[in-house]
Amino acid sequence: MTPVLAQATEGGAAELWTFIIVGAVALGSAFGLILMRNAVHAALMLVLNFLAIAVLYAVLQAQFLAVIQLIVYAGAIVVLFLFVLMLLGVSREDSLTARVPGQKTMASVLGVLLFVSLAAATAGPFLGDASVCGSEEALTGTGDGVPCLGLAAVNAAEGNLRGLGFLLFTDYVWAFEVTAVLLVIAAIGAIVLGRRQEDPSELVEPGSTVLPARRGSGSAATEPGAGPTDADEGAATETSEATPSEGEERT
Amino acid sequence: MSVPAGYYLILAAALFSIGAVGVLIRRSVIVMFMCVELMLNSVNLTLVTFARINASLDGQVLAFFVIVVAAAEVTVGLALIVNLFRLRASTDADQVGALRA
Amino acid sequence: MTGLAEGAAVVAPAGSPAAWAWLMAVVPLVSAAVLLLVGRRLGRAAPWVAILSAGFSLTLAVWAAVWLAGREAAERTVVHTVATWLPAGELEVDWAVLVDPLAVAMSLLVTGVGLLIHVYSLGYMEHDSDIPRFFAYLNLFLGSMLVLVLGESLLTLFVGWELVGLCSYLLIGFWFDERPNASAAKKAFVINRVGDVGFMIAMFLLFGAIGSLSLVEVLPAAEGLAGGTLVAVGLLLLLGATGKSAQIPLFVWLPDAMAGPTPVSALIHAATMVTAGVYLIARMSPLYVQIPEIGLVVAAVGAATALVAALIAVAQNDIKRVLAYSTVSQLGYMFMAVGVGAYSAGIFPLLTHGFFKALLFLAAGSVMHAMADRGDIREMGGLLRDLPITGGTAAIGTLAIAGFPLTAGFFSKEEILAAVADTAGGEVILAIGLVVALLTAFYMARWFALVFLGPRRFEELDHPPHPHESPLSMTLPLVLLAVASLGGGVLNLDPETGVLAGWLAPSVVAFEQTAAIIGHGLLEAIAIVLALVGLAAGVLLFRAGPREVSASAAPAVRFAQDAFRVDELYRAAIITPGHWLAVGLTWFDERGIDGAVNGAGRATSGLATAGARLQTGFVRSYALAVLIGTVLLIAGLVGVWMAAGDGIVLTGGW
Amino acid sequence: MADVPLLTLLLAVPAAVALLIAVMPREAVRPIRSVAMAGSLVTLGVAVAVLAAFEVGQPGFQLEEEVAWIPQWGISYRLGVDGISLLLVALTAFFMPLVVLAAWHQHERAKGFFVALMAMGAAMLGVFLALDLILFYVLFEAMLVPMYALIGIWGGKQRRYAAIKFFLYTLVGGLLMLVAILYLYWSAGAQSFDYDVLRGLELTGTEQLWLFLAFFAAFGIKVPIFPFHTWLPDAHTEAPTVGSVILAAVLLKIGGYGFLRFSLPYFPEATISLAPWMLGLGVIGVLYGALVAMMQRDIKRLIAYSSVSHLGFVVLGAFALNQTGAAGSVVQMVNHGLSTGALFLLVGFLYDRTHERAIAEYSGIMRVTPVFGGLFLITAMSSLALPGLNGFTGEFPILLGTFAAVPLAGIAATLGVILAAIYLLWAYQRMFHGPVEGRAVGLTDLTPREIGVVAPIVVLMVAIGLYPGPLYDRVNPTVEVLVEEVVAVAEGADVATVDQTGDPAAGSDAPIELDAPAGSDLDSADDDDEDEEVSR
């Protein structure tokens, strides 16, 4: 574990500062995510947020999760987002004007309300001194608030990764297996959804650069999503790919 | 002077609310999807904080599972979005009004 | 008191005509059914089936009369129960026959005149397309009238009462191709029904008080009834009688009933059906005798009707309408008689009027038959030469109805006037009676003169009919009726000692003299003078044809011709408001109630569409709704925890 | 003969026939209708057997049959017939063959039509015989389905509206009744829906009032009583001829029957306190129905409103609370069934020829078709209660009873007799009299089949008119007991739970244990099948 991380988890002023900086970054990137016009910029903001959270994990003595966060979230998921963004070419300006009047104001008011009630619900008892994890008030149970013993002892015994691994394969082994299956299904799902009807006219001789004009779909590949396309033009091009519904009940 | 666990929880709550607001405000489906990811992350943060408070790794295991599920969700979600795009040639959430009464 | 009043009803001995009396009514009914079902196939034989059944009833009536005459006066009220009819809860009514002098007298009139008119109809309806149906209806009427006359309980009487109403509906509307005939029929039925409602309510009262409707029980118990019930029953029965016997206020249907064939007018609207009202009051004499003031009301109604009808008759120009109003007027006379309590004096004119009014109507029929169904007397004149028999018999009829001395009409009218004169409070009624006597003589003389005397006006018409005497089948009944009109007086020469008075004694209450307004001799003289003056005036004035009406008298004559515009009065007072009430209710029904029902339907569907609008179709508005839910939930939880005071213990024992 | 379960047979035959037709091929119209005719004739035969087996002087239930249906809840399949229901059962059975004969040329979806017809018959017979409240309720609602189908599928232009309106109206009423039944069930505590068990309950005044109103909702709509009648004209105008006939002849009677079977005996105090109101509604029904009938342009609507008027009399008779009135109302229900049934049949025949129901379109029919005119006149006369025909034998006792109860109501109702004459004769005159014009031109007179349908009814009308004795002898004992019971409450005597089933000594009174074969497929099966396959 890098010394900086270790040092930060020991508490003391370092933890406060890291919390403040990293917290600010996280909040800033979150606001960025929801306010950026361009979807790609939003995706980048998301990456930044994931990084900030990864640092926080480290501070909270969840070193393994911090790494996983970096690999899975920052690495895979956001990249996937970017990939889709690029594929669909929807990086144009996304006008923020909501169709439903008053949606924005309503949403923000509700957001604040949600924040206040969540914060009150969860953070309430943990603001006292004792809640400083690893602090002696916590250990002696003298300070106010719920004492936070911190994971120092646990991690110290076998280290965070080993502890987790141990838990994973004893108490949560079934859950683990299920998630494995879940991942497989997700993968298959994505392939199935992504499949396109192998249409003979579409077979491309290897090496030719011209993409066959998709029948009836207005050759989406080249057409930039110029502004909010009105619904009926889009709806009209009911592409043949939409899986024909088998033996639909004749109404 | 160090950080009581509550601060992390407040931060997580804030991130969650921002995510929720994001879902409501943005019209592009993909951005909405990202906001959902953000909300998941804030939940993870809360879990990890509580793991630390209760000095047990269970919280972290849970967070781990959340991440796994999130990954699966993203794959399927994005596949759907791609399909949606083929149908409507746009990713504007408001275009998809088939359910309108 | 009469036999019935003392409850001295004797059960009919087996085999006696009384026991078979019910056949008198049933045979015509059955033959009517037969004629209706297979009439067309019987062809020419159809009328004879009807005539035979009428003849059978007549013979049975005569046999019953002879048999009854053979018994002493006390045992002349004979009852025979055929079968139980309506055992509904406490109500017990049987198909039973009451054979007593009054019933037999009436059935003799009905079957006698009925048979004559059946024979007459042979000729009259010769070239009609629907003979079987006509004779079926005639037989149906005969049967129903006999049910009415012979009915032992008020309810069986009521059955006959309404069935004759049906027959008059069917017969008035016999030529239903023309709309006026059909509406005249409907008018007759509905107005009769109004009267019948009065009759029904009277029955309810009687049943409520006595617990039975059979005459044998009701009449003896009549004394015991409370005053109020008596008065109510009396008035209601009067209402019923005015409906059937065309008295004020329900007389408007009779003149229109002339739309039916003439034999129908003769049989139903002159001789038999219209007398049912008089018969009813005579039958209920034990009850009416308890309430003399109501008797006076009956007499007053009769007098008023007689006067009004006589005045109208003077101005009528249709040969049958004159006779129709004359009938209404003569019935008024009979009501006067039974009103003042002279029941046998009321039945006597009923019989005599039956004879000469039937005669006059048949004569009119014969005239119309000869004149190709033209009815306006102003276009006739001098027909005596062409139709000698009809003319002669019509003359006899006119004399009889005018009350020419020694004719049947004279005796019956004189007795009525005498009875009225001997009743306390009868002054006004007597005066009216005398005036009407004059008027009757006058309008009948006018009628006779215009039709049979004077210049032959019908020759100036564009294609003049050439009248010829009717065939024997029509003239024979005329002659017979003429004989009856002349000789009829023999039936009851003197109110007390006459044959009819004695005969009817067991059935009706005897007349008590309560005053002596004028001596009978003087009264008789005045009556004769009035009759002669009326006749002479009528003949002299109209011998030369219809007279021009002076300008001053024109409105009065027009008013009389329009029958005092009573029809218009009823239309304005009852029919139009009734119509608008019905229209209003229909509107209320379709808009009001249905409106509410459909409104409820529309309201629910309205609510549904409002609800549907919530589904905006925008994914994000759904997300918003979800968010609202979560926030409320969490806020609620927080609130609960706060209230619980132990703060939020997330980590502690849950 | 005594041990044959007649009542179950009466119910099972039409249900079985309905099932049989349901499985027959759709295009085999001729065999279908002959099976239907055979079935209805057998049912009539069984009904005659029931009439024969019925002991005249007995007030209580006879020919009882009882089989436990759902014992856990105390629901039993119990049938029985007494003075009140006997005539109505006979009327239903009498009409079934006639209705089938009238629908002889029904080719459009004939199979479904006859299935609905037979199912209708079974359900109607069942309702009159059911002595278990749940069985009664099930059949009460089961009747709706075939009737809804009859109106909804084979009806006129606005059939959908009329069918739905009819269905909802009756359903709402029925549901309120169900609530009342359940309340009775719980307050009984005896865990049973049996008619006699629930009859002997000690209910407080207010309880009785509310329960009476709940039952009134169901039966009031069915009768129909004044404010709830607007479904009837629509249902009649849109229903096919046969549908109208069944609706008028039998369906409307369930309301009146319900009052006499449930409302009066179960809630005597409420009946007595509400009797004046009910008489008022009856009188309004009579006069209102007649007045509105005058204004109708469509002959079927006119007859429908005349039904409202006539059934107003039935309500009067039922709530006059004296024996004459009650006996009169039962017989009047039969009479109304006959006369209005015949009227609808005749109008149906006219409609088959011209597809025109407006009165103004016709003139002078009597001249063109004398037989049709004659029959219509006789039926009209019976309908306006001409003495000598059946209408009078029902109406006069009712008026007598009503007058005895409340003189004013009696007088007002008697005025209805005049209004009846006016609207019927006015319509008759406009259609049948006058020169031959409009749709009357070229009309063909009734065919032997059509005459065969109406003739038995007319014969019965004249027979009942002249000799209603047999009907009243059967009705009087039961009605006497019923009225005594209700009146006894009025005089403060406590509700003597009169042993309805008569003294046990009288032979066949013990409920006949049905020797049902294993799984008793005969009766329970046909009950469920007939509901379920009809709704297919």
Say which of B30, B54, B69 has its CB closest to residue A84.
B30
Q: What is the mean pLDDT of residues A105-119?
A: 87
Chain C nearest-CA residue for A125: C648
Percent of chain D with pLDDT over 70: 91
pLDDT recorded at residue A226: 41
Q: Which domain holds residue C575?
A: 563-597
Residue C254 lies in a domain: no
Chain D nearest-CA residue for C207: D400
pLDDT recorded at residue A248: 37
Pairing of strands C93-99, D62-70: unpaired
pLDDT recorded at residue C219: 87
Q: Assess whether pLDDT exceeds 80 at residue D516.
A: no
* Contact map slice: B 35-54 vs A, CB within 8 A: 35, 37-38, 41, 44-46, 48-49, 51-54
Q: How many CA atoms lie within 13 A of C339 on its CB side?
A: 31
Q: Assess whether pLDDT exceeds 60 at residue C299.
A: yes
Residue C226 lies in a domain: no
Q: How far is the C-alpha of B23 from the C-alpha of B30, rounded, in Å?
A: 10
CB of C160 closer than 8 Å to CB of C167 = no
Question: What pLDDT band is residue D524 in, cutting at 50, 70 and 90?
Answer: very low
Q: What is the mean pLDDT of residues D489-502?
A: 53
State pLDDT tens for residues D116-130. 999 999 999 999 999
Q: How far is the C-alpha of C584 from the C-alpha of D62, rounded, in Å?
A: 49
**Whether D421 and C189 lie within 8 Å, measured CB to CB:** yes
**Interface check A113 vs C, CB under 8 A:** yes
Percent of chain D with pLDDT over 90: 59
State pLDDT tens for residues D22-48. 998 888 888 998 999 999 999 999 999
Residue C415 lies in a domain: yes
What string of DSSP letters covers C34-71? HHHHHHHHHTTHHHHHHHHHHHHHHHHHHHHHHHHHHS
- Comparing C-alpha atoms, which of D136, D96, D140, D135 is closest to residue D118? D96
pLDDT recorded at residue A101: 67
Separation in Å, CA of B71 to nearest CA in chain C: 22
Q: What is the mean pLDDT of residues A106-115?
A: 88
Measured between beta carbons, which residues in chain A are less than 8 angstroms from residue C650?
A: 122, 125
SS3 D354: helix
pLDDT recorded at residue D122: 94
Q: What is the mean pLDDT of residues C72-95?
A: 85
Cα–Cα distances in angstroms (integers) from residue C515 to residues C428, C518, C523, C644, D81, in the given order: 14, 9, 14, 108, 67
pLDDT recorded at residue C126: 83
The complex's ipTM works out to 0.72
Say which of A98, A114, A146 has its CB closest to residue C631.
A114
More confident residue, D396 or A11: D396
Q: What is the mean pLDDT of residues D42-68?
A: 90
Percent of chain C with pLDDT over 70: 97
State pLDDT tens for residues D214-271. 999 999 999 889 888 889 999 999 999 999 999 999 989 999 999 999 999 989 888 9
Q: What is the mean pLDDT of residues C180-190?
A: 91
pLDDT recorded at residue D493: 54
What are chain D's partners, defined as 3 or more CB pairs within 8 angstroms? C
**Interface check A187 vs B, CB under 8 A:** yes
Q: What is the mean pLDDT of residues A87-113?
A: 71
Architecture of domain B27-92: Orthogonal Bundle (1.10)
Determine if residue C454 is left, alpha or beta; phi over 0 gives left, psi from -120 to 50 gives alpha, anything else beta.
Answer: left
Say which of A100, A124, A146 has its CB closest to residue C618.
A100
CB of C339 closer than 8 Å to CB of C295 = yes
Q: What is the mean pLDDT of residues C382-404?
A: 88
More confident residue, A134 or D167: D167
**Interface check D479 vs C, CB under 8 A:** yes
Residue D264 lies in a domain: no
Please give the distance of CA C207 from its chain centroid, rounded to a whole number.
Answer: 24
Q: Assess whether pLDDT exceeds 60 at residue D2.
A: no
Say which of C87, C176, C197 has its CB closest to residue D473.
C87
pLDDT recorded at residue C21: 86
Question: What pLDDT band is residue A237 in, cutting at 50, 70 and 90?
Answer: very low
Q: Do D296 and D440 sit in the same domain of this protein?
A: yes
CB of C271 closer than 8 Å to CB of C115 = no
Question: What pLDDT band is residue C225 in, cutting at 50, 70 and 90?
Answer: confident
Q: Do C480 and C408 sit in the same domain of this protein?
A: yes
Question: What pLDDT band is residue D309 in, cutting at 50, 70 and 90?
Answer: very high
Q: Assess whether pLDDT exceeds 80 at residue A3.
A: no
Q: Which residues pair with D194 in a beta bridge?
A: D132
End-to-end CA distance of chain D: 37
Measured between beta carbons, which residues in chain B are less than 8 angstroms from residue A87?
A: 82
Q: What is the mean pLDDT of residues C469-475?
A: 84
**DSSP collapsed to 3 states, D142-154:** HCHHHHHHHHHHH
What are chain B's partners, defined as 3 or more CB pairs within 8 angstroms? A, C
Q: Which residues pair with D362 in a beta bridge?
A: D438
**Whether B10 and A225 lie within 8 Å, measured CB to CB:** no
Q: Do C522 and C638 sit in the same domain of this protein?
A: no
Six-digit token string for B48? 């990890």
Q: Do D373 and D242 sit in the same domain of this protein?
A: no
Q: Which domain holds residue D247?
A: 1-172+235-251
Residue D304 lies in a domain: yes
Q: How far is the C-alpha of A85 from the C-alpha of C174, rounded, in Å?
A: 96
**Interface check C620 vs B, CB under 8 A:** yes
Q: What is the mean pLDDT of residues D348-366?
A: 90
Give the strand order in the sheet containing D512-513: D75-81, D62-70, D512-513
More confident residue, D205 or D528: D205
**Interface check C128 vs D, CB under 8 A:** no
Q: How far is the C-alpha of C133 from the C-alpha of C143, rounded, in Å?
A: 15
State pLDDT tens for residues C128-175. 888 889 999 999 999 999 999 999 899 999 999 999 999 999 999 898
Query: Rounded to 5 degrees, what are φ and ψ at C153?
Result: -115, 160
**Whether C624 and B24 lie within 8 Å, measured CB to CB:** yes
Q: Do C470 and C592 sit in the same domain of this protein?
A: no
Say which of A39, A76, A146 has its CB closest to residue B30.
A39
SS3 A206: coil
CB of C276 closer than 8 Å to CB of C148 = yes
Q: What is the mean pLDDT of residues A85-99?
A: 64
**Interface check B12 vs A, CB under 8 A:** yes
**Interface check C614 vs B, CB under 8 A:** yes
Residue with tokens 């006699």: D196
SS3 C408: helix
Measured between beta carbons, which residues in chain A are less than 8 angstroms from residue C628?
A: 110
Q: Assess whether pLDDT exceeds 60 at residue D138.
A: yes
Q: Do D321 and D465 sit in the same domain of this protein?
A: yes
Q: How far is the C-alpha of D102 from the C-alpha of D245, rounded, in Å?
A: 10
Chains D and B touch (3+ CB pairs under 8 A): no
Q: What is the mean pLDDT of residues A211-218?
A: 51
- Comparing C-alpha atoms, which of C352, C357, C379 is closest to residue C368? C379
Q: Do C593 and C465 sit in the same domain of this protein?
A: no
CB of C372 closer than 8 Å to CB of C341 = no
CB of C54 closer than 8 Å to CB of C139 = yes
Query: Rounded to 5 degrees, what are φ and ψ at D319?
Result: -100, 10
Q: How far is the C-alpha of B21 from the C-alpha of B13, rounded, in Å?
A: 12
Percent of chain C with pLDDT over 90: 28
* Contact map slice: C 173-192 vs D, CB within 8 A: 173, 176-179, 181-183, 185-186, 189-190
Domain residues of chain A, as ranges? 1-92
SS3 C2: coil
- Identify the DSSP state of C297: H
Q: How far is the C-alpha of B44 from the C-alpha of C631, rounded, in Å?
A: 20
Domain residues of chain B, as ranges? 27-92
Q: Assess whether pLDDT exceeds 60 at residue D67.
A: yes
Crossing angle for the helix pair D133-142 and D526-535, nearest 10 degrees?
Answer: 30
Question: What pLDDT band is residue C69 in, cutting at 50, 70 and 90?
Answer: confident
Name the residue type at position D388: G
Q: What is the mean pLDDT of residues A159-181?
A: 87
Residue D535 lies in a domain: no
Q: What's the total number of domains in chain D?
A: 2
pLDDT recorded at residue A12: 65
Please give the distance of CA D488 from its chain centroid, rounded to a whole number.
Answer: 29
Separation in Å, CA of C129 to nearest CA in chain D: 11
SS3 C84: strand
Q: How far is the C-alpha of B4 from the C-alpha of A122, rounded, in Å?
A: 13
Q: What is the CA radius of gyration of chain A?
A: 25
Q: Assess whether pLDDT exceeds 50 at residue C502.
A: yes
Q: Which of D251, D283, D314 is the last residue of a domain?
A: D251
**Whether C613 and B27 lie within 8 Å, measured CB to CB:** no
**Interface check C200 vs D, CB under 8 A:** yes
Q: What's the total number of domains in chain C?
A: 3
Six-digit token string for C603? 């309201």
Please give the distance of CA D335 from its chain centroid, rounded to a whole number.
Answer: 11
Q: Do C434 and C525 sit in the same domain of this protein?
A: yes
Residue C583 lies in a domain: yes
More confident residue, C4 or A27: A27
SS3 D194: strand
pLDDT recorded at residue C646: 58
Residue D118 lies in a domain: yes
**Interface check B95 vs A, CB under 8 A:** yes
Q: Assess whether pLDDT exceeds 70 at residue C600.
A: yes
**Average model confidence (pLDDT) for chain D?**
86
Residue D212 lies in a domain: no
pLDDT recorded at residue D137: 94
CB of C482 closer than 8 Å to CB of C397 = yes
pLDDT recorded at residue A199: 60
Q: How far is the C-alpha of D352 from the C-alpha of D285, rounded, in Å?
A: 31
Pairing of strands D62-70, D75-81: antiparallel
Q: Do C646 and C572 sit in the same domain of this protein?
A: no
Its pTM stands at 0.78
Query: Rounded to 5 degrees, what are φ and ψ at C351?
Result: -70, -50
Q: Assess whether pLDDT exceeds 80 at residue D490.
A: no
pLDDT recorded at residue D306: 93
Chain A, chain C: beta-carbon pairs less than 8 Å apart: 45
Q: Do D444 and D477 sit in the same domain of this protein?
A: yes
Q: Do C387 and C433 sit in the same domain of this protein?
A: yes
Tens digit of each residue's pLDDT, chain B (101 residues): 478 888 889 999 999 999 998 888 887 888 888 999 999 999 999 999 888 888 888 888 899 999 999 999 999 998 888 888 777 766 666 666 666 65
Measured between beta carbons, which residues in chain C are less than 8 angstroms from residue B53?
A: 651
Crossing angle for the helix pair D448-466 and D370-383, nearest 10 degrees?
Answer: 30
Q: Assess whether pLDDT exceeds 90 at residue A119.
A: no
Q: Assess whether pLDDT exceeds 90 at residue A105.
A: no
CB of B9 closer than 8 Å to CB of A126 = yes
Q: How far is the C-alpha of C144 from the C-alpha of C349, rounded, in Å?
A: 22
Domain A1-92 in CATH 3.40.50.300? The answer is no
Cα–Cα distances in angstroms (integers) from residue A172 to residues A166, A200, B46, in the given order: 9, 49, 20
Question: What pLDDT band is residue D460 in, cutting at 50, 70 and 90?
Answer: very high
Q: Assess whether pLDDT exceeds 90 at residue D336.
A: yes
Q: Assess whether pLDDT exceeds 60 at residue C350.
A: yes
Q: How far is the C-alpha of D95 from the C-alpha of D106, rounded, in Å?
A: 17
Q: Assess whether pLDDT exceeds 50 at residue A242.
A: no
- Comparing C-alpha atoms, which of C495, C195, A52, D208 is closest to residue B45? A52
- Comparing C-alpha atoms, which of C314, C299, C317 is closest to residue C378? C317
**Interface check C612 vs B, CB under 8 A:** yes
Q: Do C445 and C593 sit in the same domain of this protein?
A: no
Cα–Cα distances in angstroms (integers) from residue C151 to residues C241, D382, D419, in the given order: 16, 21, 27
Question: What pLDDT band is residue A243 in, cutting at 50, 70 and 90?
Answer: very low
Pairing of strands D362-363, D437-438: antiparallel
pLDDT recorded at residue C31: 93
Residue D104 lies in a domain: yes
End-to-end CA distance of chain C: 107
**Whether B50 and C651 lie within 8 Å, measured CB to CB:** yes
Please give the distance of CA D174 from its chain centroid, rounded to a whole number.
Answer: 16
Q: Assess whether pLDDT exceeds 90 at residue C28.
A: yes
| Total residue length of chain A | 251
Q: How does A153-182 read in b/e, with b if 16+ C-beta sit within 10 Å?
A: ebbeeeebeebbeebbeeebeeebeebeeb
The residues, ordered by sequence, that sit 6+ positions from D401 with a Cβ below 8 Å of its Cβ are C89, D316, D317, D320, D322, D323, D324, D325, D326, D328
